[in-house]
Amino acid sequence: MSSESKRSSELRRSMPLLPIGTVMQLTELTARQIRYYEEHELIQPHRTEGNRRMFSLNDVDTLLEIKDMLEQGVNMAGIKKVFDMKKNSSMLKAQANEEISNSELRQILREEMKLAQRSQKPSLRHGDMSRFYQ
């Protein structure tokens, strides 16, 4: 994928399109849960002028990942760690403007394995929003 098309599709996926009701249906989470995850800064939905949350497709993806991890016994602190690591690794990627190195990948996987073991589940598999858009 060209960096140009990657950038523009990222733009689209981060457009705040969906109200919380739609997100509830897509994720099968309650409004309370979604707001709680925002409170813990796992997502940062936009706000309308009138203060209503508007979510992007990326936000929905993130929520599905959160849901998955919670169901697998990972607590909020663990989820935060995983997301922090992801952000760091993607920052590294952006800095170098190239794919993540094998050693970085191994480091990340090691950390994920540790978390997974702690919650007595074999692996972390996250949600996939791709089925909702072309």
Figure out which of the listed residues 17, 26, 33, 126 binds DNA, where binding follows CB under 7 A.
33
Residues 126 and 89: their CA atoms lie apart, in Å, by 17
**Rounded to a whole number, what is the distance in angstroms from the first to the last CA of the chain?**
16
Residues 111 and 106: their CA atoms lie apart, in Å, by 9
Residues 28 and 79: their CA atoms lie apart, in Å, by 19
115 binds, options a second copy, DNA, none, Cβ within 5 to 8 A by partner type: none
Q: Taking CB under 7 A as the rule, does residue 41 contact DNA?
A: no
**CA angle, 41 as apex, 83 and 106 as ends, to 5°?**
5
Subset of 72-91 contacting DNA (CB under 7 A): 75-77
Contact residues for a second copy (CB under 8 A)? 8-9, 12-13, 15, 17-19, 21-22, 26, 48, 54, 57, 130-134
Contact residues for DNA (CB under 7 A)? 19-22, 24, 30-33, 35-37, 40, 48-53, 70, 75-77
